[in-house]
Amino acid sequence: MVNKKFALMLVFLVLSTSGTALTISPGKTELDYVPGKEYKIVFDVANRDGKPMDLVVNLSGDLANYANLSETRFFIDADGSHVVTAKLVMPTLDVPGEHSLGVRFAEVPTKKYGQTMITATVAIVARVITKIPYPYVYAEAKLETQKIKVGEIEYLRVELTSYGVNTIEQAGGYVDIIDKDGVEVARVPLTSARNILTKQKVNLLGEWDSTGSNAGIYKAIATVEYDGKNVTAAAAFQVGDILLNIIDLAPRTVPKDAISKLTAKVKSSWNDVIVGKVGLTIKDSTGKVVANLVSPTVEVKPWATADLEVYWDTTGLGIGSYDVEVVAYYNDKESRANFTASVTEAKEGEVKQVEVKDYFILVGLVLLLVILVLMVILALLIYRKRTKGG
Amino acid sequence: MVSDKILAKLVVIVIIISAISVVTTLFDIDRLGSMMNVIMTVMGYDYTTTTTVCSAGITVTDDSIDFGSGYVWANATSAILDSSNSGVTNGSWKGVEDRITIENTGTCVMKVTVAMDSADAEAFLCGTGDCPNTATAKVEVEIDMVVGVACTSGLQNTYTTLADANGKNTVTLCGEMSYGSGNDQMLMSMRLTIPYDARTGSKSETLTFTGTAV
C-alpha cells in the first residue's frame, strides 16, 4: 500500500547554472602519418568566464597510449589562459583510415554546500588525428554552404580529399537542395576534377539560384562519384531571415475601469515552427509607462498567423489615447510594431468586464449560488412546516 | 680601478638580463616553447608537421531554471515539471518556462553532449536512501529551440532520458553543431519526474556539457 503521507512533502528545486565558457586552440589538428616521429601539440586553453576555473585534462582514443601531457590539472584565473602541451610519438599503424587522440579539458565543478542548484560545467575534447591511406581509391567529401538572402545565389563548395593510395582519375557529381518538408527543389551539377593524388584536396563547385524560393532552412546533400565509387556530404543553409511579423492589435478601443483582452496577431514568414511570445508596453500621452504586459508563449506554425493574448486593466487610467509598443520575442530575435489604443468611458454594463479564462471558476461560482438559494428555500420550508406544526 | 673592458662586459650582461626579464614578464614563460615552434616553422625547420584545422569553444549561459518549491498531489505517484512550457502535472509547483543556452564559440563543427554527475535520477531527486517505494524518478532533456542552422545533424529535439531510477546516459544534443553568429546557439529544456516519496529539501546536481571537434 502506498503511503500517501509522503506525498505532502515539499520538494524544492532551483536548477541554477552559472554561465561558463571555455575555448581550446587548436580544437582539431591533423598530423602526417610518419611512424616514429615525435609531434608536439601546444594547446592554448582560455577561460572566457568571469570566474576562476579548475580544469582536469585526460587522453582518449586509439593514440592515447603513445601520448603524454605536460600536466593533468591546473587552475586558470577569470578571463585568463594557460598552455598545455601534448607529445605524441606516432606508432606504426596497420589499419587504414582515421586514428585519433582525444585531449579532454574538463571543468571541475565547484562544490557549494547548502545551496540548491544544478551547476553546469563544460568540457572540450580537442582532437588530434592522422589518416593512413587506403590501399585503393578512396575519398572523403565536405560540403560548405552559406546563409543567403531570398533571390541570391547559393554557392556550393564540395571539398574532396583523396585518402587512397591510388590516384583518382575523375570525380564529379551533384547537390540536391531539399526543403523543410523533404521535397527536392533542385539538383545542382558540380564541376569535375581529374587525376587527384593521395592526400590532395580539390574543390567541386555548384550554384543554386534561390529566386522564387521561400525563406527558411534548406538542406543540401552532395553526391560525388569518383572512379565507380561515390561519397556523400550534407549541410544545412538558411535562405532569408526568420521573421515573425506583428500585423494587428485588437481591439484598439477599450473601456475605462475594466479588464480587457488585447489580441496581437502575428504572422510567420518562416518554413518552420517559431516559438515566441509578445510583450506590450503601454504609455500615456506624457510618455509614462502605465502597463507592461506579456503573453504566454505559443508555437506559430510555418507561414501561419497566431493570436497572442494579454489582459489590460484600465482601472484608474484617464480617458484618452495611449501608445502601445508590441514586441515579439522569438528564436533570440525581436520584431516590433507600434499602435495607438483608446480608453473610453465605460458603457453601462461594461465596467469590470472581466473575461475569466478559467470557466471552471465561473461554473463553481454558479453552483455555489444555486446551493445557497436551495439552502435558503429549504430553511424556509422547514420554518413553515414547524410554524404550521406549532 | 675598473677597466673599460670590464665595464663594457658588465653593460652587456645587464642588457641581456634585462632583455630576458622583459620577455619573461611580457609573455608567459610556458608560451615561449610554442613561440619557438612558430619561429622555427617560419624559418623552415620541420619541428612539427601539424595542420591546425580549427579552434574549439563552448559557452553555457542562462543563470537558472528555478522550478521553485512544491509537492506531489496526494492521489498521485509522481509529479512532472517541464521547463519547455511551464507544465506541471500532479504537483503544486507553480511551473516555469526556462532553458539553458549552449553556444559554439569556436570555429570547429562540434558534437555536443550532456551528462549528469549523480549515478541516477534517484540520487538527484530522491536524496539519501533514494525513493523507497517508487522507481519513477527521471530527468529528461531536449533541444527545443535552435538559432538559425545551429545544428545541421543529429538534433535531439524530443525529450530523451538523461537519467532514470536505474542509471544515467550521456545524451548527444547535437551531432554537428555549427559556428558563426546567428547559427551557433541551442536552447535546452529539462523535464523532471518527481516521485511522491522523494525526500523533502533542496536538490543539487552537476551537468557537464562536452563539445568534441568533429
User: With an 8 Å Cβ cutoff, are A82 and B30 in contact?
Assistant: yes
Residue B34's pLDDT is what?
A: 40
Residue A9's pLDDT is what?
A: 43
Quick check: A293 pLDDT over 70? yes
Candidates B49, B147, B213; nearest CB to A127: B213
Q: Which residues of A touch B31 (CB under 8 A)?
A: 83
Q: Which helix (H) or strand (E) holds B6?
A: helix B4-26
Cis amide bond preceding A35, omega within 30: no
User: With an 8 Å Cβ cutoff, are A13 and B185 in contact?
Assistant: no
Please compute the mean of the pLDDT values over residues A261-285 and round it to a whole number: 88
A3 Cβ under 8 Å from any chain B Cβ: yes
Query: Is beta strand A38-47 parallel, antiparallel or unpaired with respect to A81-89?
Result: antiparallel
Please compute the mean of the pLDDT values over residues A332-348 and round it to a whole number: 86
Residue of A nearest to B73 (CA): A7
Q: Which residues of A touch B55 (CB under 8 A)?
A: 23-27
Reported as a pLDDT band with limits 50, 70 and 90, residue A276 is confident
SS3 of B13-31: HHHHHHHHHHHHHHCCHHH
Cell of A41: 601539440
pTM: 0.67
A328 to A276, A309, A313, A368: CA distances (angstroms): 7, 12, 21, 41
A265 touches A306 (CB < 8 A)? yes
Please compute the mean of the pLDDT values over residues A380-387 and round it to a whole number: 79
Span A100-131, pLDDT tens digits: 999 999 998 776 554 445 678 899 999 999 99
By CB neighbour count within 10 A (0-12 exposed, 13-18 middle, 19+ buried), where does B15 fall? exposed
Best A15, A75, A242, A299 member to test B by mutation, with max B CBs in 10 Å, is A15
| Mean predicted lDDT score pLDDT of chain B | 81
Residue A279's pLDDT is what?
A: 93
Residue of A nearest to B52 (CA): A29
The string of DSSP letters for A214-272 reads: PSEEEEEEEEEEETTEEEEEEEEEEES---EEEEEEE-SEEETTSEEEEEEEEEE-SSS
Quick check: B204 pLDDT over 80? no
CA distance A99 to A102: 10
Residue A92's pLDDT is what?
A: 94
Residue B32's pLDDT is what?
A: 45
CA distance A176 to B117: 43
Quick check: A58 pLDDT over 80? yes
Span B140-183, pLDDT tens digits: 999 988 887 889 889 999 999 999 999 999 999 999 999 887 77
Please compute the mean of the pLDDT values over residues A379-386 and round it to a whole number: 80
Candidates B68, B190, B204; nearest CB to A115: B204
Cell of A11: 520538494
Quick check: B29 pLDDT over 60? no
Quick check: A274 pLDDT over 90? no
Residue A193's pLDDT is what?
A: 96
Span B42-79, pLDDT tens digits: 454 444 457 778 999 999 887 567 777 888 998 899 99
User: With an 8 Å Cβ cutoff, are A23 and B105 in contact?
Assistant: yes
pLDDT more than 70, % of chain A:
88
Q: Which residues of A touch B168 (CB under 8 A)?
A: none
CA distance A216 to B126: 44
Please compute the mean of the pLDDT values over residues B104-109 and round it to a whole number: 92
Residue A354's pLDDT is what?
A: 43
Q: Which residues of B touch A116 (CB under 8 A)?
A: 202-204
Candidates A13, A23, A297; nearest CB to B67: A13
Span A207-245, pLDDT tens digits: 999 998 888 889 999 999 999 999 999 988 888 877 888
A127 Cβ under 8 Å from any chain B Cβ: yes
Q: Which residues of B touch A121 (CB under 8 A)?
A: 206-209
Quick check: A14 pLDDT over 60? no
CA distance B10 to B183: 60
Neighbour tally for A323: CB within 10 Å: 16
CA distance B190 to B141: 5
Tell me which of B46 and A40 has the higher pLDDT: A40
ipTM, two decimals, is 0.72
User: With an 8 Å Cβ cutoff, are A217 and B149 in contact?
Assistant: yes
User: With an 8 Å Cβ cutoff, are A4 and B74 in contact?
Assistant: yes
Quick check: B15 pLDDT over 80? no
Quick check: A187 pLDDT over 90? yes
